A and B are shown apart, each in its own frame.
Chain A
Amino acid sequence: MSDAPLVTVTIDGVAVQVPKGTLLVEAAKQIKQEIPVYCYHTKLGPAGLCRICLVEIEGMPKLQIACNTACTDGMVVHTQNDKVDTGRSMVVELFLVNHPLDCPICDKGGECDLQDYAMAYGRGASDSVDGKTSKPKGVDLGPTIVLDEERCVVCQRCVRFDDIIADESQLVLKDRGYKDMIATATGQPYHHNFTGNVTELCPVGALTSKAYRFKSRPWDLARTQTTCTQCPVGCQTFVDTRFGGVQRVMSVESDDAISDGWLCDRGRYNTGFYASRERVTQPLYKKDGAFVQIGWDDAFALWAKAVKAGESGAVGGGRLTNEEAYLLQHVFRAAGVANVDWRAGSQRVATPFGRNGSYTDLENAKLVLIVGETPAERAPVMDLRVKKAARKGARVVAISTAADAAAALQGATAVALIWDGVNGALANGVYDAVAIANPYVYIASEQPNARGAEAMGVLPEGSAKTFDAMLAGGVQSLSLFGVNPVLNHPDGVAVADALAKIPFVVVSDLFLTETAQLATLVLPAKGAFEKSGTTIDLVGDLLPVNQSLDAPEGTLSDFEMLIGLAQHLEVDLPTSESLERAVVEAAAKAGLSSLDSGRFAPDARDDMARKPTLLFAGGGTAAHDERIAALRPVEPSGPTGSDEEVAVEA
């Protein structure tokens, strides 16, 4: 479109230059003249259904819809006159004839386009004296969504989102005429990774989130913008809180460079764990095989003593902020502990060593190669970019051998490689085969800030031990930060056995996880919404994490824990200014990782059959969120049913 010649249209007396073919509804935005829309959406295109975007175009006898009218040179448009108002007023009146007007109990009340346009264009009274049609209310559409048919304005944004963006085509319009209803085509529950977006697309209160239904009025919510840290994509979100709890998570804007305006259901709905009663809120020390509650001073003293007692190790960082990860390696190294590693699972690398591409580069790729984990599970919103690329004509190929790669690359240009960062692709020569095409590389990490942890230096250097080497023996104390390898490591049983042999194991986490249960000392941590800092997404953006919740009393952030430990170890701490500078500098160098860093020592476990990592609705925090439990995928059955799902920590 940008190559199109410019044309001049006059909108309400103001001349605007836009590329030829620009839709009138978009051109009007340039002069800040809002044209009301229900069915039109920038990402979904025109549908011409609601008919509210009426404008008068000189030379045309009938009112035209701005959403499907392309600008042509010399076009003279009126968006505000009596004729236009009469048309829009009629459309609003028609919407309200059968609308239940249950605004006082509607979740959308206060941020509803029907309310807004009724105020702007409505007549204030209706000529309708007949009863309203009644339709089903509170329709359980699936695990996440409740539908109120009476409020629906049939804009079909949800249907089109499901078809065009999510590529699921589950939602359809059922029946005909005034009996139109939104339903799933099959009658099965509406269920995929992105269902929550329809509640934001819905211009009225027809599609509502089960999690937020009847919870709050929008004007009573406190809003915090932050980065979602449920996966490494880095979607910008609004966290809306009230009464000290998360009420809902919303997307930021429709042209957000990272999320493209969409959120996955995990990022949107997996927030119940913050208020879980199962949270650990006091340090726990294992005495005679049972945990006893102790104070933080005692916990720090015991911890520092263990770290100093002999060879130690510290593992984690991928679930921490950059500041915490930086401090982690700083404090332990300053105390003489060289064994630091963020890699508590099967992943070996988080920073691409090919070309570092943006999400736009991914969307514009002509060939998308997928190695290892499915991006839909590891990084759901990135998967929408893959679908977008496919819509634009890209080929999407899953490969597992060098021969696959060579075949897929025949004549390919603009290649993107999505990889899970596990050694296998290197060992099998797949990476080398793809590297010839100079691809943009995207590593969908198990841990959301794996790339940040790597950039902050939470990696063993020289003869220092990897996590696997630490488990192999010799380490007298091991500190684990926000990782749950007993659950997530490819060989969790071996991890559990190894941990049992280490004299002093410290685990910092929100819950008494499978790993924490084996610990000597459990430190109650704060979650991502309860602290501030920065994180690095999988394409290398340094992003803010802003606190939106107060943490339960008795918990500390890993940052605060590391400061406490440092004080007991009598280790110098960086000033906050120098820490900030160090983080920014480390983040800036994050793209400079190379294959020579010796990080890819063969991992014996790499060859074992790996179980699928169902990050999306798997374990971790999701296990402590009743609402999200409904989203868990059904256990696969059949001959391979004996394989248990292994979920990474969330």
Chain B
Amino acid sequence: MAAVVTPVLTAGIGEADLRDIAIYRGRGGYKQWERAVRELKPADIQAACDASGLRGRGGAGFPTGKKWSFLPNNGKPRYLVCNCDEAEPGTFKDHMLLEETPHLVLEGILLGAYAINSHHAFIYIRGEFKAGYAIFMAALDEARKAGLVGKDLFGTGYDLEVTVHRGAGAYICGEETGLLNSLEGKRGEPRLKPPFPAVEGLYGAPTVVNNVETLAYLVPILEKGPEWYAAVGTERSKGYKIVSISGHVNKPGNYEIALGTTVNELIQIAGGMREGRKLVAVQPGGGSSACIFEEHFDYPYDYENIAKAGSMLGSGAFLAFDETTDFVAAAHNMVRFFAHESCGQCTPCREGGHWLETVLRRFVEGRGLMSDLDMMRRVSSTITGLNLCALGDSIEPFLKSVLNRFPAQFEARVLKETSNV
């Protein structure tokens, strides 16, 4: 596959003011929404979604249509919640979509809500996205005035309201049940599962939480057909993905690519490594993912191959590291983030993250102990899998991968024995 960028969601960004509803509609915007309400049944959208092979773009990569299918018909209202609490280190795609093409985000939300026969959708926007919030509010206002949101849409009798909620800056509120608690006005702490949100989610009702990018892809999938979307990608990783490339590349930024583009090609797309330096590691799926190395750089960037390389595609945050990287500092930075963002509910994440951060800080200061290396390996691997939510399981991967790959960097920070004599 060639190293090419294929703007789908990103089409028009930087060329036209997509925040303007007239311009968005001029480019075919809201046509799919109108068609869905007038002509399609929720099941049709679900079928299209299934056929497209669309998987959740928030990190877990769960098939979107399948997630929708878990909702029971128990007489309670159903809610669609769009997760725009994008806070995974290295990820900045939803931020861009929200600010640059808010109507596309909204149309995706509307389609997702219709697909699960919901009459009330929510979008949870990260607190720091102040500009994005204002832009989205303006877009929602325009859409409401245009009769695209509200009661009796297109005269069909179908009602759909959209509520916008701003977070207050906690990473954990991006975890879907933490988000639901926060949305309900409670402490942003993940819930104990079961029950799962599909059964008992927002206000105890069946709820689907979908990522911004996932929902936005519903628009082109309906427009061009699921076959068009499924035509690209690899066997089980279909379609397109926005990759947030950052790190030691010449042109960091968001690049929309077909899944299966190789790791090396992604580096090329981002302008290659800066100053002709050498790529030594890539963190392919955000702060929660393990690094992949040289032997994996020709792997296709898709869910299966990145997993095969020992990591995960996650939210598509692609961090490139060159040979000048201080991986001790990087590991400390990453672990510090998770320790700081731990909600503190469950023991392994609360205590383990803080302990590892404390030890890594000593390494950064050149005061590590040889015994700490074993302790870090033991503690980080043992706490993985013991936690209430995925945050605690995110502490280990990056640390372990760089600790095993670059042990010399860590050993060099071990306190030199000094003589008291």
Contact = CB atoms under 8 A, between A and B. Distances in A.
B355 A128 contact: yes
Contacts of B347: 49-52, 91, 94-95, 153-154
Contacts of A154: 344-345, 347, 350
B402 to A, nearest CB: 20
A178 B354 contact: yes
A48 B343 contact: no
B399 interface: no
Contact of A180 (B344, B355, B386): B344
A90 B359 contact: no
Given A63-B385, A90-B348, A177-B344, A97 B170 contact: no
Interface string A328-339: 000000000000
Interface in A124-154: 127-130, 133, 153-154
Chain A at the B interface: mostly helix, strand, loop or mixed?
loop
Nearest to B361: A130
B170 A98 contact: no
Given A94-B352, A176-B170, A177-B340, A87 B345 contact: no
A46 interface: yes
Interface in B367-402: 369, 371-372, 374-375, 378-379, 382-383, 385-388
A127 B340 contact: no
B391 to A, nearest CB: 10
A173 interface: yes
Chain B at the A interface: mostly helix, strand, loop or mixed?
helix
A51 B388 contact: yes
B342 A177 contact: yes
B51 interface: no
A46 B192 contact: yes
A610 interface: no
A48 B192 contact: yes
A51 B351 CA distance: 12
Contact of A68 (B170, B192, B358, B379): B192
A355 interface: no
A30 interface: no
Q: How large is the interface on A (under 10, 10 to 19, 20 to 34, 35 or more residues)?
A: 35 or more
Among A51, A52, A86, the most chain B Cβ lie within 10 Å of the Cβ of A51
A456 interface: no
B341 interface: yes
Interface residues of B, number: 36
B343 A176 contact: yes
A87 B344 contact: no
Nearest to A130: B358
Contacts of A50: 346-347
A47 B351 CA distance: 18
Contacts of A177: 339-344, 350, 353-354
B251 interface: no
Interface string A16-51: 000000000000000000000000000000111111
A582 to B, nearest CB: 55
B362 interface: yes
B417 to A, nearest CB: 15
B385 A62 contact: yes
Contacts of B379: 90, 127
A179 interface: yes
B187 interface: yes
Interface of A: 46-52, 54, 61-63, 68, 86-87, 90-91, 94-95, 97-98, 127-130, 133, 153-154, 156, 172-173, 175-180
Given A90-B383, A130-B358, A156-B345, 8 more contacts: A68-B192, A86-B382, A91-B348, A127-B375, A176-B344, A178-B339, A178-B342, A178-B354
19 contacts: A49-B388, A51-B347, A63-B385, A68-B192, A91-B348, A94-B352, A94-B355, A98-B354, A127-B379, A129-B372, A154-B347, A154-B350, A172-B187, A173-B187, A173-B344, A177-B340, A177-B342, A177-B344, A178-B351
Interface of B: 170, 187, 192, 194, 339-348, 350-355, 358-359, 362, 369, 371-372, 374-375, 378-379, 382-383, 385-388
Interface pairs A-B: 3 shortest CB-CB: A94-B351, A180-B344, A48-B192
